[in-house]
Amino acid sequence: MRTGILGGTFDPIHIAHLHAGETALHQAELDRVLFIPAGDPWQKLGRRVSATEHRLEMVRLATAGVDGFRVDDRETTRDGLTYTVDTLATFPEDEELFLILGADAALRIPTWKRHQEVLDRATVLVVPRPGTDSTAVADILPDPVFLDMAVLEVSGTEIRAMVRNGSAFRFLVTNEVHRYISENNLYAEVGGADMVEGPTSMEEPS
């Protein structure tokens, strides 16, 4: 079994996450891609993050019915801070693991808890991200695999700001996620989220 792991806060999940997951599935010949939302305790380390139930549900809605895509709640059901090294340890030893990371997140791996064990256990698939020089990743990681895909300049931070400002964001997320954001009035509150920038899943504190 070749499993891709795409972790994040997914606040909200957007087209760049989905496009990265699908590209990884094909280019690395994975059997499946697990979308793993980060647990709540992360919010204590930085900006406030929407409730787990909302983030998990948006990931469910966005991935439902997509071949090879799965939602995985192993980080949201675990107590305390979740570190990638611990998450990887929950998989059977004979499962081949691939960490799908934006170039920004990949560059921070050296600051992660027991990062050498992470690199021994999983192959890193690097997703190009605007504003980050992907080639720099090759200087710090042993054997990164660079995904060849459209570079999408979109982020959760920008989408939350668009919702707050009443700007158009509909086609940056799936229809179901767009509807969920409206129906649950997410991100509308001024001064709600984004007061402080903080780490997200796969973006561990050092």
Binding site for ligand ATP (CB under 6 A): 8-11, 16-17, 20, 101-102, 104-105, 127, 129, 152, 154-157, 200, 202
In 3D, which of 63, 4, 1 has the Cα closest to residue 28? 4
Residue 5 binds which of Mg ion, ligand ATP, none (CB < 5-8 A, kind-dependent):
none
- Pick from 189, 147, 180, 145: which is nearest to 58 by CA? 180
Q: How far is the CB of 200 from Mg ion (least distance, A)?
A: 5
Residue nearer to ligand ATP on the CB measure, 93 or 168 = 168
Taking the C-alpha atoms of residue 202 and residue 9, their distance in angstroms, rounded to an integer, is 9
Q: How far is the CB of 79 from Mg ion (least distance, A)?
A: 23
In Å, what is the CA distance from 38 to each residue of 73, 102, 144, 162, 168?
8, 15, 23, 23, 27
Binding mask 173-192 for Mg ion (x = CB under 5 A): --------------------
- By CB under 5 A, the count of residues binding Mg ion is 1
Query: ∠78-39-57 over CA atoms, to 5°?
Result: 110
CB 192 within 8 A of CB 47: no
Which residues in the 16-45 window bind Mg ion by CB under 5 A?
none
Structure tokens at 175: 């229809």
**Look-up: residue for tokens 């990681």?**
141
> Which of Mg ion, ligand ATP, none interacts with 97 (beta carbon under 5 to 8 A by kind)?
none
144 binds, among Mg ion, ligand ATP, none (CB under 5 to 8 A by kind): none
Determine the residue type at 140: I
Minimal distance in Å, beta carbon 39 to Mg ion? 16
Cα–Cα distance for residue pair 61/175, rounded to 1 Å: 9
Closest CB 92 distance from Mg ion, rounded Å: 29
Q: Which is nearer to ligand ATP, 94 or 139 (CB)?
A: 139
Binding site for Mg ion (CB under 5 A): 200
